[in-house]
Amino acid sequence: MELRDFGRLGRISALTLGGGGLGGVWGATDRSEAVATVHAAIDAGITMFDVAPSYGDDFEAERVIGEALRNSPDVQVTSKVQVHDVPPGGDFARLISSSLEGSLTRLGRDHLDLFLLHTQLLPRDGSATAPGTIHWQSYQDAVVPAFEHLRETGRIRAWGITAVGHPASVLDALRAPARPNAAQVIVNPLDLNGDMWIYPTVPSENQAVLATAQSQGVPVLGIRVAAAGSLTDSLDRSVPPDHPAAIDFARAAPFRELAADWGTSAATLAHRYALSVPGVASVILGVKNRAELTECLKAEAEGPLPPEQLAALRVLRP
């Protein structure tokens, strides 16, 4: 497994095992298979594991990692916190600290390597609003100081953001003097948002976010690499025809045709693309079992895509 630079956290594996699949967010799995998938990831050289309290019922992804990594201290673990002020969210520092302590208990660890804000940022000018979001001023005045304090006291080694909020504020956060130590950025061949976008009239600007993170020295974890399953050969869960994943799956038909022409699966091609993008330190996997993990490991082993294939994929973007 290739190791890549990840800022203050040193070098991490090119693949990160995400918790969405382990928690059952992307289709059914069970605890024993999820734990076995974590062990297989470690055996394959994966050194970073990314979870969140919201991944699965009763914090399932964090519980899986806590059980699976009990005797594996030489790996790094990421978790997240959601705080919002739309509607009003209360004492941010207390909520952040409480969420962290809960995660550490479930994970069986005394610190987190990376702690991420899992709430979308609103624009400074108040031109957009949505439930479960946070205003720029609240982020700047309350969230950032809370994260900095936790890092200074050793409860976390680094902090970051899920960089999927309103692009104006995400770009502001990446350029701020107290900028995050890492950012999770959407990276996939068709630039699909994987059922995360809450601003229908605003372009997401994922490419600008990625370029800005790179220019500001903020390490990037690539997320939604398979666009919530839309960039695979078939959706592995039932969704209604008007669901964003179903709409994106239909939109991705030319991508699947190109993958078939090249003799590969859509998921393998999507992961090889993300691993080829400059500035991406590690690609987060949404797998839920060992079979899906094996396909992603194969993609990493096959290496970056050649320039002509990357160019052909970019032509497919909507």
- Dihedral sign of CA atoms 231, 236, 241, 243 in order: negative
Supply the pLDDT for residue 129: 84
Q: Are 199 and 130 in contact (CB under 8 A)?
A: yes
| Residue 90 token pair | 């209360």
Q: pLDDT tens, 222-254?
A: 999 999 889 999 987 888 998 988 999 999 999
What 8-state DSSP symbol labels residue 58? G
Q: pLDDT tens, 295-318?
A: 999 999 999 999 999 999 999 987
Mean of the pLDDT values across residues 271-281? 96
The Cα–Cα gap between 280 and 282 comes to: 6
Which is higher by pLDDT, 24 or 77?
Answer: 77
C-alpha 238: how far from its chain's center?
A: 22
Q: What is the pTM of this model?
A: 0.95
Q: Coil, strand or helix: which one is 175? A: helix
The Cα–Cα gap between 192 and 266 comes to: 14
Q: pLDDT tens, 152-199?
A: 999 999 999 999 999 999 999 999 999 999 999 999 999 998 788 888
Supply the pLDDT for residue 72: 74
DSSP labels for 239-282? Answer: --TTSHHHHHHHHTHHHHHHHHHTTS-HHHHHHHHHHHSTTEEE
The Cα–Cα gap between 21 and 23 comes to: 5
The Cα–Cα gap between 35 and 61 comes to: 10
CA angle 120, 271, 36 (to 5 degrees): 90
| Residue 212 token pair | 């800005």
| CATH class name, domain 3-314 | alpha beta
Each domain of the chain, given as residue ranges in start order, spans: 3-314
